[in-house]
Amino acid sequence: MALLQIAEPGESAVPHEHKLAAGIDLGTTNSLVAAVRSGVAETLPDEEGRHLLPSVVRYTPEGVVVGEAARAAAAEDPHNTIASVKRLIGRGVEDLKTLGDRLPYEFVDTDSVVPRIKTVAGPVSAVEVSAEILKVLATRAEKTLGGPLTGVVITVPAYFDDAQRQATKDAAKLAGLHVFRLLNEPTAAAVAYGLDREAEGVHAVYDLGGGTFDVSILRLNKGVFEVMATGGDSALGGDDFDRAIAEWVMQQAGIGNEASPNLLRSLMDKARTAKEALAQRDAVEIEVALPDGRHWQGQLDRATMNRLIEPLIRKTISACRRTLRDAGVRPEEIEDVVMVGGSTRTLRVRELVGEFFATEPLVDIDPDKVVAIGAALQADVLAGNKPEDEMLLLDVIPLSLGIETMGGLVEKIIPRNTTIPVARAQEFTTFKDGQTAMAIHVVQGERELVADNRSLARFELRGIPPMVAGAARIRVTFSVDADGLLHVEAEELSQGVKASVEVKPSYGLTDEEIAGMLESSIEHAGEDMAARRLTEQRVEAARVVEALQSALAGDADELLDAAERRIVEQALQDLQQTAENATDSETIKRAIEQLEKSCEFYVERRMNSNIRKAMAGHKVDEFE
Amino acid sequence: MIDLSRNYFELFGLPVGYTLDPAALAGRYRELQRVVHPDRFASAPEQERRLALQRATLVNEAFETLRDPLRRAQYLLTLHGLDSTQETATTRDAEFLMEQMELREALASAAEAEDPGARLDELMRDIRKMIDAQVAQLAVLFEEATPESLEVAREAVSKMQFLNKLYNEAEAREAELEESL
C-alpha cells in the first residue's frame, strides 16, 4: 500500500493507472531490458528482434555506437571500442594495476581519481560508457511501451561495494533515468521464480556466464532476502568450455599450435555451435577447413564433450562448496537452485549442480533473461502498479563499513548483513587544543587492516569550535540507504555546531564531475539546459500537487482541523499558480520547498497515522 | 517512570517488558516495513522519500534492539533511566569473574585438546547455557522492576556482555580451526 498515489501531469490519479517502468540487467557481456506488460514480465527485443544488447560501446568521430555494431568493430578498432566496462565501474586508478594487463585501452592521466579511457571522442569514464548502454535500453523500452519511463530497477552483483553501486547509479543519472532501486542480481533471479512468495528457506543462485562464475546463497525469512554469502571465479565461464572443445578438435585434426588467429577464432565458433547443439542432440558433426586446403570431418558426442568440460564444472562446484561453508549452510539445506547465465544450458552443468545440491535446478526461465525479468517484476511493484502487492524485498549490506583507527586498524561501524536502511552514530573527539578540523577515513570490507579493505571515502570535518583537546564531542552519523549507498553527517554536540562534511570518494565521481558530464551530454543533444530544468521542475511540482490532493481527499477530515486544512490548501494553490506562471526553474523549486515546509506537519502526521493503523487491531494483551 | 510517548515497544505495539514473542516481533516488523519502507515511496515526492527512509531506518534500529536479548535489556534499563552501555559498567561478583577466567583459559588451551573441534563445541554450549541463565534471570528482574532488582539487572547485563565476548572469541577460534583443516 503506497501512502500516496502519484500520477504524472496530464494523467488522472486513478489508482490503477499503469505506470511505465522497466528492469535493466546491466551485464558484463550483454545487457537486457524487461517490463511487465499485461501482467507478464518479459524482455524487450530491438527492432530486429534481438533481446540481448552486447555491452559494447564504440566511440567514433561521428558519434557513439552501442551493441552488435560496436562488437563487430572491436577487432578493427580496439582502442575506441569498450567492452566489459562493468569490470571497471566504480574502480579507481589504483585498481587498474591489477586489471591493467588484460585491458586493451589507453588511459588518460587526470587529476580525478576515476580513470578515463582515451578515445577519438575524448576521454570517457566507465560511468559514461555505462550510461550509453543504459540510454539505448531505455529508449528501446520507451519505444516498445509507448511513453516515458517513470523509473527503472537496475541489477548489480551482490558483491558490488558502495563505490560500484554509486557509480552504477551515477550512470543512470547521466542517462536521465530515475532509479527506483538497485537490486542484487541473485535476488532478482529468485524474484523471477517467485521464491519471494514462499514462507522461508535457503536458496542458491548459480550464475555461469561466458567469462565469469558467481554463486550466491540467499536466505529468505519473513520477507527479508538476505545474501548470506557470495563466491565464484571471475575468470571461469562458458568460453572455457568452447576452448576445451576447440583444443580437442585441434588434437583430432592434427592442427598444431602454429594455427592462425583466424583459424583459432573459427574453431572457437564451431566449438560453441557444437556445444549448443549437444544440449538437444546426442552427437554432432564438425567440419574444419585446414590451412593446407584439406577438410577435417569428425563427430563429437555428448559423452566426449562431458569428459572435456567436466573438470571445469567441478571447479564451479568447489566454489559452491566454499561459499556454502562461508554461509554456514550444508548443501542439503538448500531448497532451490536458480540457474542463471547462458552456460547453464549445458546439460552436464545442470546434472552436476543438481547432484551437488541434491535438488532439481530451476531452469524454466531463459537463463539469459531471468535477472532482467526479476528486475522488471520489482520495477512494476515499485512504480505502484500493484497497490495490493505484498512484495517487499529487504536487503542487507554485503560488506561491513568501518573507519580507520590508530595503527591502520579498522573499527567496524555497520557490520555486513545488517538490514538496510540503517544508521549508526559514532562519537569522536579532538586530540589537540584548538583543533577545528578532523579527517575520517571510511573503508568497506571484513579484514582487520585498513590496507586489506577497500577505501570508500575520506571525510574532512570542518568548523569544529576551538576547544581544549578532548572537549569537543563530534557525532558522525553513517547511514546506508535502501540501495546500499553511504551518506555521512556530522555534528559537534557540546555546542551544537553542524560540522561540514567534505566527501572525497576514493573511487567515485564528485557531484561536480557528474553535473559537468550531464551538462556536456545535454549540450551534445542540442537541448536547452534552462528549458529542460524548467520542465523538470514543472513535473516535480505537478507530482507534489497530485500527491497532496490525493492525500487530502483521503484523510484530511480525520487528521486536520479546519484551520490546518486551510494552510495546506493555500500552500497547494500557491504552488499551482507559481508552477503555471514561472519562467525559470529556481522559482518553482523554491515554491516546492515552501510548500514542503508549510505542509511538513501533515506529511509527518500521515506517516505516523499509517504506522498506527498498521499496528491497530493488535492489542497489547494479545501477548500476555 | 517510563516515558511511553515514543519507545520501540510502543512502535511495535508490544507491551514494555523483557519477555517477548519473537514471532510476533518479526511479524510486526514486516507489517511496519510494509508501511514505511522507501520502496513504497519509489515514485513519491522527494520529501516523502526522505521521511520514509528515516522511518524505515528507525524501524530497523528498533527491531535490531528488541530482537537481541542483550540490547533489549540495555534498552529497557535506559527506559528506566539507567545507563548500562558504558564500558566502565562492570561486575563485582568475584565468583563470576573467576569462572570467566577459567573459561578463557579453557578456550586458549582448546587447541591442544585431543579433538579441538569437539572441545570448542562443548565450551560454546557451556557459555550458551550461562547466557540463557542470564536471560531467564533478567526476565524475572524486569518483571519486578524495583530499584533493587534493576540494579541486579544492570549487573546481569554486564555479565552478559562478558559472556557474549567470550562466545564471539570461541566462534573466532572455531573459524580459525576450520581454516587450518
Reported as a single tens digit per residue, the pLDDT across A44-72 is: 999 999 999 999 999 999 899 999 999 99
Structural contact between residues A506 and A94, judged by C-beta atoms closer than 8 angstroms: no
Strands, E assignment, A51-119? 53-54, 56-60, 63-66, 81-83, 107-108, 116-117
Q: What pLDDT was estimated at residue A360?
A: 95
pLDDT value, residue A301: 95
Q: Which of residues 463-492 of A touch B (CB under 8 A)?
A: 479, 481-482
pLDDT band at A363 (very low <50, low <70, confident <90, very high): very high
Q: Can you give the pLDDT at residue B169?
A: 87
Interface of A with B in 315-374 (CB under 8 A): 325
Which tops the pLDDT comparison, A233 or A499?
Answer: A233
C-alpha to C-alpha distance for B65 and B70, rounded to whole angstroms: 8
Q: Which three cell numbers stand for residue A435?
A: 583543533
Question: What average pLDDT score do residues B94-117 get?
Answer: 86
The C-alpha of B142 sits at a distance from chain A's nearest C-alpha, in angstroms, of 15
Give the pLDDT confidence score for residue A15 in this predicted structure: 46
Q: How far apart are CA A462 and CA A269, in angstroms?
A: 60
- Choice between A231 and A208, residue whose per-residue pLDDT is larger: A208
Give A615 to chain B, closest Cα distance, Å: 6
Closest CA to A271 of A298, A293, A292: A298
Inspect the interface and report whether the beta carbons of B32 and A610 lie closer than 8 Å. no
Mean pLDDT of all residues in A508-537:
69
Q: Identify the pLDDT of residue A374.
A: 96
pLDDT digits (tens, 9 = 90+) for A282-334: 999 999 888 788 889 999 999 999 999 999 999 999 999 988 988 888 898 99
pLDDT higher than 90, residue A512: no
Residue A17 pLDDT level (bands cut at 50, 70, 90): low
pLDDT digits 0-9 by tens, B11-63? 898 889 999 998 889 888 888 888 889 988 887 888 888 889 989 999 999 99
pLDDT number for residue A154: 98
Instruction: Write down the pTM of the prediction.
Output: 0.82
Kindly report the average pLDDT of chain A as a whole number. 85
Cβ–Cβ below 8 Å for B44 and A624: no
Q: Does A600 touch chain B (CB under 8 A)?
A: yes
**Looking at the predicted structure, is the pLDDT value of residue B85 above 80?**
no
Mean pLDDT of chain B: 86
What are the angstrom distances between the C-alpha of A77 and each of A53, A80, A105, A119, A263?
Answer: 19, 6, 11, 10, 20
Band of pLDDT at residue A451, cut at 50, 70 and 90: confident
Provide the pLDDT for residue B90: 63
> For testing the chain B interface, which of A191, A412, A419, A538 should be mutated: the one with the most B CBs within 10 Å?
A419
The interface pTM score, or ipTM, of the predicted complex is 0.80
A143 at interface of B, judged by CB pairs closer than 8 A: no
Residue with cell 529508449: A139
Positions of A annotated as catalytic residues are 25, 86, 185, 207
Residue A154 contacts residue A183 (beta carbons within 8 Å): yes
Mark yes or no for CB contact B42/A418 under 8 Å: no
Determine whether the interchain pair A422/B15 forms a contact, defined as Cβ–Cβ distance below 8 Å: no
Check pLDDT > 70 for residue A168. Answer: yes
A450 φψ region: left (φ > 0), alpha (ψ -120 to 50), beta (else): alpha
| Segment A427-434 mean pLDDT | 84
If one compares A195 and A506, the residue with the highest pLDDT of the two is A195
* Mean per-residue pLDDT, A166-172: 93
Percent of chain A with pLDDT over 90: 40
Mean pLDDT value across residues A413-425: 88
Does residue B48 or residue A530 have the better pLDDT? Answer: B48
Specify the higher pLDDT residue, B168 or A351. A351
| Mean pLDDT across A89-106 | 72
pLDDT band at B76 (very low <50, low <70, confident <90, very high): very high
- pLDDT at residue number A144: 96
pLDDT at position B140: 94
Residue B4 has pLDDT above 60, yes or no: no
Q: Encode burial over A354-376: b for 16+ CB neighbours within 10 A, e otherwise.
A: eebbebebbbebbbbbbbbbbbb
The C-alpha of B126 sits at a distance from chain A's nearest C-alpha, in angstroms, of 21
Name the pLDDT band for A618 (thresholds 50, 70, 90): low
- B27 → chain A, closest CA residue: A222
Across residues A580-598, what is the average pLDDT?
89
Report whether pLDDT(A231) > 50. Answer: yes
Instruction: Report the chain A residue with the minimal C-alpha distance to residue B23.
Output: A222
User: Is A22 within 8 Å of A141 (Cβ atoms)?
Assistant: yes
Tell me the pLDDT band of A398, cut-offs 50, 70 and 90: confident
Q: What is the pLDDT of residue A289?
A: 86
Residue in B with minimal Cα distance to A389: B34
A393 touches chain B (CB under 8 A): yes
User: φ and ψ at A338, to 5 degrees?
Assistant: -90, 130
Residue B175 has pLDDT above 80, yes or no: no
Which pLDDT belongs to residue A100?
Answer: 53
Beta bridge partners of A480: A422, A486
Residue A4 has pLDDT above 50, yes or no: no
Residue A539 has a pLDDT of 81
Asked whether residue A386 carries a pLDDT value surpassing 50, the answer given is: yes
Q: Is the pLDDT at A32 greater than 90, yes or no?
A: yes
Interchain CB distance below 8 Å, A547 and B48: yes
Give the DSSP H/E element, type plus range, for residue A297: strand A295-301
Mean local confidence (pLDDT), A523-541? 72
Nearest CA of chain A to the CA of B36: how many Å?
Answer: 8
CB contact under 8 A, A614 and B32: yes
A4 interfacial to chain B (CB closer than 8 Å): yes
The predicted pLDDT at position A529 comes to 67
- Position A10 scores a pLDDT of 39
Between A170-184, A562-576, B78-92, the lowest mean confidence (pLDDT) is in B78-92
Which of A419, A540, A611 is nearest residue B32 as measured by Cβ atoms? A611
What is residue A125's predicted lDDT score, i.e. its pLDDT?
A: 92
**What pLDDT sits at residue A623?**
41
Higher pLDDT among residues A76 and A139, named by residue: A139
Residue A613 has pLDDT above 70, yes or no: yes
Decide if B30 touches A, using CB distance below 8 A: yes
A1 vs B contacts (CB less than 8 Å): 34-35, 40
